[in-house]
Amino acid sequence: MDRYMLIVVCLLNISTLYSQNSKPNVLFILADDLGVNALNCYGNQKVESPNIDQLAADGMRFTNGYANDPTCAPSRASIVTGQYVPRHGIYRVTDRHQQKKEWLSNMKYLPPQILRPTGKQPGIDPEKITIAEALQAAGYATAAFGKCHFGTKDLSFRAHGFEEAVETTKHYDFKHEPAQTDILDNEYNADYTTRKGIDFMKRKVQKEQPFFLYMPYYLVHKPLEPKPEYLQYFKDKYGNEFNDEILKVLAMIKSLDESVGQLLTALKELGIEENTMIIFASDNGHYKIKDNFFNQPYRAYKGSTFEGGIRVPYIFKWKNKIAANATSAEPILHIDLYPTILGLTQTEVPADYILDGKDLTPVLSGEKSKLDRTALIWQYTNYAGFNQKKNSWRSSWVNVIQSEGYKMTEDVETGRYFLYNLNEDPYEKYEIAGERPEKLKQLRKLLEEWKSETGSELPRPNPDFMGPN
């Protein structure tokens, strides 16, 4: 009897110890400008991405994943706040329309201003509770190494819950903030940030502290600066099949994949692979390139709310928790990452804090195949590329809603609405607003309700407008 009770007590103690130390680590890898057709596991057989492909084979890959914005800053702000653009106020990367008088004079409306909490620098309001802060409150160590772009200077990583952080931009001779003294001669940005990330993981494993490591790589953003040996490799492999621009991107994807492989190897060597959730995604679609090579077969590219500008890869892996070699066709957005990380780590949602996304846990666990969501919505207010001869913009203010596969775009400048049925026309070749007035009416109603619920700003008439009525 005594022996039996001793065994029970020991088992209870082990169980308690496990529950106290079983919080999963989170490794979140974010690529920069990586298109939906820029990985081998998403169908591009010309790309070499064996480590990311293995990540997909070991977990779940989403085939209808979306960015919250077709450009960097708004989408990254949505990732860390879990909120739609009107709530966090990081509307654009920059105000291009204010840089050229001819652009400003041809805008009927003025877009919302980018949030500047301190009056000068753009950035997320420090009052927002970021995913890093939510996990930090639950006992997690937090770190970020790479591109920030949701705030500068005093509004960068460290202002939003990342205890350790180095912000880097470009590839060779890269910028780093705060200034670092451990950069090797001619070290590649991705190699440096990977090294910093692995060192962080090692230290937290030694302290037996769960961690949230955010790795927002600058790859494959321009400038096109691949490692020379990788560029030569693809030149030898493909010869004249592709132009130099595509070859450089292929080489940069290879570097991104190499860094991902090093992170995954470190998890195994540290013995924490089974207790680490891994997320891989991109911030927006690929930039314009010949034949739209890294977004095809989808229409357009970065800076556009057509599918090529907002479709991105999403991969989730948690060994023995998420089924291997799984795929999901459920449409998801960046804003879903915050509640999903909280759900998988069993971390409480911050009190009185609005999260616009959905917890993907039921889909990742295989419990459900669909989420309880009415629509996906985008608000893109970036005025750029005005063509005087055609009296048209490359991009302007649009509000976009997708529900049940139907995608409607409201062009604020012209007051026109466009409709596509992605169920039958995923490449947006056939505009059907005139054929489906009832669907247009339904989506317009949903969009207006969303504007009201999120406090979306109304278009302001531009007093400097000089264009035709």
Q: Kindly give the confidence (pLDDT) of every residue in the chain, 469 residues in length, as a single tens digit, with 9 standing for 90 and above.
A: 444 443 333 333 333 323 335 799 999 999 999 999 999 999 999 999 999 999 999 999 999 999 999 999 999 999 999 999 999 999 998 887 777 788 899 999 999 999 999 888 899 999 999 999 999 999 999 999 999 999 888 889 999 999 999 999 999 999 999 999 999 999 999 999 999 999 999 999 999 999 999 999 999 999 999 999 999 999 999 999 999 999 999 999 999 999 999 999 999 999 999 999 999 999 999 999 999 999 999 999 999 999 999 999 999 999 999 999 999 999 999 999 999 999 999 999 999 999 999 999 999 999 999 999 999 999 999 998 888 888 889 999 999 999 999 999 999 999 999 999 999 999 999 999 999 999 999 999 999 999 999 999 999 999 999 876 5
- Whole-model pTM above 0.85? yes
Q: Which candidate, 202, 315, 305, places its Cα nearest to that of 256? A: 315
Task: For residue 152, count CB atoms less than 10 angstroms from its CB and return exposed for 0-12, middle for 13-18, buried for 19 or more.
Answer: middle
Give the integer Cα–Cα distance in Å for 119 and 321.
45
- Cis before 350? omega within 30: no
Contact 52, 312 (CB under 8 A): no
Contact 356, 82 (CB under 8 A): yes
| pLDDT of amino acid 151 | 87
| pLDDT of amino acid 121 | 87
φ, ψ of residue 18 to 5 degrees: the values are -65, -45
Q: Where are the domains of the chain?
A: 25-364, 376-461
Beta strands in 130-183 (DSSP E): 141-146, 164-169, 175-177
Contact 32, 283 (CB under 8 A): yes
3 state DSSP class of 47: coil
For the record, the structure tokens of 338 come out as: 């915050």
Give the integer Cα–Cα distance in Å for 77 and 72.
9
| pLDDT of amino acid 209 | 97
User: Are 25-364 and 376-461 in the same CATH fold?
Assistant: no
Cα 110 to its chain centre, rounded Å, is 27
Q: Which CATH superfamily is domain 25-364 in?
A: Alkaline Phosphatase, subunit A (3.40.720.10)
Contact 89, 457 (CB under 8 A): no
Contact 327, 60 (CB under 8 A): yes
Contact 356, 84 (CB under 8 A): yes
| pLDDT of amino acid 388 | 86
Give me the CATH code for the 376-461 domain, please: 3.30.1120.10
The angle formed by the CA atoms of residues 15, 21 and 26, to the nearest 5 degrees, is 135
φ, ψ of residue 462 to 5 degrees: the values are -85, 115
Compute the CA torsion angle 82, 87, 91, 93 (nearest 10 deg): -40
Beta bridge partners of residue 419, listed in sequence order: 408
Give the integer Cα–Cα distance in Å for 368 and 430.
32
